[in-house]
Amino acid sequence: MSPATQANRRTLLLLAGLVVLVGLIAWPSFVGRMQYARTRAELAAIRDAATQAELTSVGKMFTTLARIIGPTVVNVTSKKRLTSVADEIAALRGIRPIGKTAEEVGSGVIVERDGVIVTNYHVVANSSEVDVALADGRRFAATLIGADAGTDLAVLRIDAQDLPVATWGDSDTVETGEMVWAIGNPFGLDRTITYGIVSAVGRKGVLESPYQEFLQTDAAINPGNSGGPLVDVHGRVMGITTAIVGKDYSGIGFAIPSNTARKVCREILEDGYVERGHLGMLLASSPPDVFGALVVAVEPKSPAALAGIRPGDLVVSFDGVPVAEPAGLVLQVTRTPIGEKVPLGVVRSGTEDTVIVQVGRRPQ
Catalytic positions are 122, 152, 226
Distance CA 74, CA 227 (A): 9
Sign of CA dihedral 316, 322, 328, 331: negative
User: Residue 79's closest CA among 108, 100, 110, 107?
Assistant: 100
Q: CA triplet 230, 195, 175: central angle to 5 degrees? A: 60
Q: Please give the C-alpha separations between residue 102 and each of 49, 79, 124, 145, in angstroms, as whole numbers.
A: 53, 6, 12, 22
320: CB partners within 8 A, 6+ apart: 343
Residue 268 CA, distance from chain mean position: 21
Distance CA 131, CA 75 (A): 8
CB 233 within 8 A of CB 65: yes
Distance CA 34, CA 198 (A): 45
